[in-house]
Amino acid sequence: MGSTLAQKIIRAHLLEGEMRVGQEIGLRIDQTLTQDATGTMAYLEFEAIGIPRVRTELSVAYIDHNTLQSGFENADDHRYIQSVAKKHGLYFSRPGNGICHQVHLERFGVPGKTLIGSDSHTPTGGGLGMLAFGAGGMDVAVAMGGGTYYITMPKMLRVNLTGRLRPWVSAKDVILEVLRRLTVKGGVGRIVEYAGEGVESLSVPERATITNMGAELGASTSIFPSDEVTRAFLKAQGREGDWVPLSADPDAVYDEEITVDLSALEPSAACPHSPDNVKTVREIGPIRVDQVCIGSCTNSSLSDMLKVASILKGKTVDEHVSLSIAPGSKQVYNMLAACGALSDIISAGARVLECACGPCIGMGQSPNSAGVSLRTFNRNFEGRSGTKDAQVYLVSPETAAYSALRGVLSDPRELGEQPAFPLPEHFLLNDNMVIPPAPPAEVEQLEILRGPNIKPFPVSGPLAEDISCECTLKVGDNITTDHIMPAGAKILPYRSNIPYLSKFCFAVCDEGFAERSKQKGSGIVVGGENYGQGSSREHAALVPLYLGVKAVIVKSFARIHVANLINAGILPLTFADPADYEKISQGDSLRLAGIREAISHGSTAMLENLANGEKIPLNVEFSERQRRILLAGGLLNDTKGA
C-alpha cells in the first residue's frame, strides 16, 4: 500500500509516535515564521526557555499585522522583534516588505519541508508542497529551540480536481466550493491533499489561495504536489535549486475523497457571517455594494493584482463604492509599478494600501454602518471588519474588481473573453527589506530593546487537586478566537500587554465578562461545538488564563486552540454526552473534585453542578505528554522543568 504526499513528509520528519490516526506524533520542524501580532509573545516565550540561538534550518520574523502606528506600542514591538531576531538567529522581514505568507511563498518556502507559524494561515505554504501548520506562539518558540512539534495524526482527505477553470472563475471559487461542501468543521482532524488532472492547470499562487483558506475548514493543513508548475515558480524566483518533485504514490489510500470538477464551478461568495455560507454570485443577485477590499494573504499575488488591473484599466470605480487594494509583497508592488498595472489601478480610483494585512485583521478600512463589503479575504466573522453590523462577503479578485465598477455584486463572466495572465519567467528579486541575523560571534554585545507596553505573560501554577468555581460564561457553537480575543486597530497594539488586553476578552459575547472574572478570581467557560475556530492567536488562551479561567468545557474544540489551552495550563474538557451542555447555566457553581488524579491517570472526570445537583461526566483523554503539561501548569513550566 502506497503513501499519500502528506504521509511521506510526516514519515521523513517523524521523531516520536506511530503514524496511526488519532495517535499523537512528534515532528521535526525545518522552518518557523511569526508575525508581529503574535510574534512579541512568541519571542518572550523563546527568551524564557533560555536557548541562545534558534536551531531550525530557517526562522523568519515578519512585520505585517500591526503596521498602523497611531501610538508608540506597535513601533516598540517591531523594534523588540527586530532586536530579538538579530540576536537569536532569525531573519527579519521589515514593515512594508509584505504579508508573511506571500513573502514566505516567494522567498523562503521549500517543497517537502515542515513549517509551523504563529498564524493560522501558515498552510499557505502547502501550495508549494510544504507540510505547513498554524500553531500557537509557545509551540513555535519550542520549535525554534529545536524542540519537537506535536499533532494528532490526522486522517487523509483527497480532493480530486478534474477539468479546468473556465474564464473568470478562480482558485477562490475552488476553495469556496470545498467549504460549501465540507463546512468550517469538515476538515477537523484531517489533512486535505489536492490531486488529479486539474492540479497541473493551477499555478502556485492559485494553489496557495486554496491551501490558505483550508484553515477555514478546520483542517490540520492542506497540500499540493510539487511538480513542474512548482519548479517553474521557484525558477522564476531564482530558487530552482530548492525544488524537489513530490507526489502521492499511485496506490495511496485515503480515508476520504471528494471530487471537484473545476469546469463546473462559477463565481461564488461566502455570505455573512461564515466562510462556509457559500452561494453563487448569480444566486445572491445584484446587491448594492458600499466597499470593496482586495488583498490579504489569500489573494494578493502578482497574478491576482494583474487580473484586477486589467478589469479596472480605463474605467472608474462606481461613485458609491470605496475600493482599496493592498499588494501582498514589495515584490508584487514593484512589479505592478514596473509594468504599468499600478497606474491602471490608481487611475480607476482605487486607494492603494501598504503591503500588509490591513483590513483583513481589522487594521483600518472598516465599512460604513450596515455596509456591504466585498473582500478577497479568508474570514468574514461578525465584527471582524471593525463594523459590528457590516455585511461582509468573501469573493475572488475578479468578482471584487468587476463589482467595484458596477456598484453591485456582479458576475465577472459578463466581461467576456478573459486575457491570459501567465506568470513571469523572472520575478523582480530584491531582498533588501530582509535583515539577516548577526553572526554568533557578535551576539553578546547586542541588546534586546523592550518598550514600556511589553508586559510579562501570565504563567499558571501546577494543577490543583480540586477545582471549585463558577461558570463565568456560557457560549454556543462555532465560537471563534475573534469572539474570545478580538483583533482590530484598537486592540492589536496591546498584544504584548496581557493585563490591558484582558479588558476586551469575550467582549463580543458578553461585555461584562472581564470585570466579572476579575471579581470572581477564577472561573470555568462552557461552550458548544468547534470552540476556538479561526486564528492561531494564543492570546485567546493567555488572556483567559490571566482572568482566572481554570477550565473550558465544550462539545468539541478546534485543533490549534485546544493545543494553546494545554500550553497555557487551562484544562480543555469535553462533554462525554454533548446533551449535558444543557445542564449548566452561566452563574452555576461547579466543582471538579479529584481533577488532578483524573488528569494523571483517568479517561473521564466528573463535574458536579452544585446549583442543581447534576453530575456530568467529562472526557479527559490526553496523551501522556499533554497530561504532563497540564499537571505542570503549562508548556513553559514543563519545558523548563524537564
Residues annotated as catalytic (active site), given as ranges: 64-65, 119, 379, 535, 537
Residue 270 β-bridge partners: 278, 394
Show Cβ contacts of residue 296 under 8 Å, excluding neighbours closer than 6 positions.
99, 326, 328, 357, 358, 359, 360, 375, 376, 377, 378
Calpha distance 540→505 (Å, rounded) = 8
Residue 198's identity, in one-letter code, is G
H helices present in 109-189, as ranges: 137-144, 171-182
Calpha distance 366→388 (Å, rounded) = 10
8 Å CB contact between 507 and 513: yes
Kindly provide the b/e burial profile for residues 439-476, where b requires at least 16 CB atoms within 10 angstroms of the residue's own CB: eeeeeeeeeeebbebbeebbbbeebeeebbbbbbbbbe
DSSP states of 454-506? --PPP---SPPS-EEEEEEEE--SS-BHHHHS--STTTGGGTT-HHHHGGGTT
Beta pairing, strands 291-294 & 278-280: unpaired
Cell numbers representing residue 140 in the block: 513555535
Neighbours of 260 (CB within 10 A): 19
Q: Coil, strand, or helix at residue 403?
A: helix
8 Å CB contact between 244 and 226: yes
Q: Please report which helix (H) or strand (E) contains residue 114, including its range.
A: strand 114-117
Cell numbers representing residue 90 in the block: 532569525
Widest pairwise Cα distance in the chain? 72
Best CA proximity match to 100, nearest among 72, 67, 144: 67
Q: Please report which helix (H) or strand (E) contains residue 81, including its range.
A: helix 72-88
Beta pairing, strands 131-134 & 114-117: parallel
8 Å CB contact between 329 and 103: yes
633 Rama class: left (phi>0) / alpha (psi -120 to 50) / beta: left
Q: Which residue has the cell 457560549?
A: 475
Sign of CA dihedral 405, 411, 413, 418: positive
8 Å CB contact between 318 and 405: yes
Best CA proximity match to 593, nearest among 468, 429, 492: 468
Calpha distance 12→28 (Å, rounded) = 9
